[in-house]
Amino acid sequence: MDNLQYMSGFGNEFVSEDPRCLGAVPKNQNSPQTCPYGLYAEQLSGSAFTCPRTSNKRSWLYRILPSAKHEPFKPYHHSFLTHDWDSVPPNPNQMRWAPFHIPSVQEIGKVDFVEGLHTLCGAGDPKVRTGLAVHVYTCNSGMGDKAFYSSDGNLLLVPQQGTLYITTEFGKMVVEPNEICVIQLGMRFSVNVDGMSRGYILEVFGASFELPDLGPIGANGLANPRDFLTPTACYEDRSCDYTIVSKYQGKLFCAKQDHSPFDVVGWHGNYTPYKYNLDRFMVINAVKFDHADPSIFTVLTAQSTRPGVAIADFVIFPPRWSVQEHTFRPPYYHRNCMSEFMGIIKGDYEAKKGSLPGGGTLHSMMTPHGPDAACFEAASREEMVPKVVAAGTQAFMFESSMSMAITNWGNETCRVVDDEYFQCWAPIQKHFDPQWDPSEQFEE
C-alpha cells in the first residue's frame, strides 16, 4: 500500500511526484503563473518564516484543490480527548494500567481512530505552544471518508496491536507494531485498520521531534538518519462527502468538504511525515561495568528552550547483550526530575513483572521506582556472564521534564488502574550488615 523513500538525512529537502503526473513539481515554488496540470500551489509551514535555515520547516504541496475549500468548522463532540489537567487532584503515587480495552464491533459498534482517542496524562498548554499529552487509541474500524489533523502539536504514533494503514497528504504509510511514525503539526491523515487495534500517541506542543546529538558517540549510532522513511506522492481525485476533523486548543472541530483532502500530486520540502522501524536502532551499552543512563536509548527528542532539557524524549529498551562485570545489571533504583510514562509493545519488561503489552506505567517527578523485589534478588546473585537481555520484547518510555497530570479517564473511567502496583516493592528485604568485611569487595 505504501511507497516510501529513504529520507537519507533527517530534515533534508525532498522532491516527490506521483508517477502518473511527472513534472507536477515546478522548478520554482509557485511559478510559472499557473502550475503544471492545472494544480494549486500551497505551502505547509511547520516553523516561523524567519527561523534559521537549519530549523526552518516547510513543504510546498501541488494539489488538485486547495485545502481552504471547505465549509466552516463546527464543534465535534468527543468525551475522552482533553487538555484539562486540573479535573483530577494530583497523585504522586506510582501508577500502572492493565492493557487498555479495545471495544469490539459487537460490543459498541464501529470505533475509528478518532473516536478511539483517549488522553491519559500530560502537562502544559497548546495555546502557549509548550507541553505534551499522552494519548491511547483503541479502535476496530477505519476512518472512511474522514481525515484528522492536530493544530496543537506533533504526533508520534506507537502501534502496539494491529497494523495502521495511514493515508497522508504526502502519500501512504503502513506502520506495524515495533515501528513508529511521526505526523507533524497540521498534516492531514486518515487511518485504516484490519481489526482490533491499539497503541500510544505522544503529542508535543511547540517543539519538533529530532534526532538527539551523539556527542562522544561520534557520527553513527542510536537511530541513524538513513533509516527513516517518508511517503512518496500518491493522489486521489475523488468527489465525495468528506469530513475534516481538527484538534485545536485541546478540542475537536469538524468541517465538511466535497472532495478528498489527499489530492496532492507532487510536493517538495523538508516538512514531512515519516516512519521508523525500531529494529533498526543501533544500541549503545556499557561493556565493562556500571549501568548507563537510559538516555543512551533515545530514538527521538523534542527539546525545550533549556539546553539539554527535553519537553519529551522517546526512548526504547530493545533486545541487547548485557556484559558488565561486578555490576548490578538491571536499572538502578531511581528518583528523577523527569516524568516517565512507560509502555510495552511486545514481551515484558525485564526489570519488573506484571506490566503487560498494551498497558502502561507512570512514575511522576521525584517518585521513587526501580526493579521489583524478585528482580533485585535474582540480579544480585546471578553469574556475571554475557547474556541477551529483553529477547523478544520491546518496551518504550515517553520521558518529560514536565510534571504530568492524569486525566479523569486515566484515573477512573478506563477501569484498568492497578491499585496494587506498589506491592511489587513490598517484599524488598533489608540486607544491611554493619559487620561486613570490606575485604570481600572485588578488587578494582
The catalytic residue positions are: 291, 334, 340, 363, 369
Using CA atoms, how far apart are residues 149 and 245, in angstroms rounded to an integer?
A: 6
Cα(112)–Cα(128) distance, integer angstroms = 30
Spacing of C-alpha 414 from chain mean position: 21
Contacts of 371 (CB under 8 A, 6+ apart): 330, 331, 333, 351, 352, 379
One-letter amino acid for residue 356 of the chain = L
- C-alpha–C-alpha distance, residues 125 and 131, integer Å: 6
Measured between alpha carbons, how far is 238 from 258 in angstroms, rounded to an integer?
9
In 3D, which of 167, 184, 183 has the Cα closest to residue 263? 167
Alpha-carbon torsion 214, 220, 221, 223, what sign? positive
Q: Based on C-alpha coordinates, what's the Rg of the chain? A: 23
Residue 241, Ramachandran bin (φ over 0: left; ψ between -120 and 50: alpha; else beta): beta
Q: How far apart are CA 394 and CA 347, in angstroms?
A: 7
CB of 64 closer than 8 Å to CB of 35: no
Q: Is 311 exposed, middle or buried (0-12, 13-18, 19+ CB in 10 A)?
A: buried
CA–CA distance, 296 with 273 (Å, rounded to integer): 25
Lookup: cell for 51? 527561523
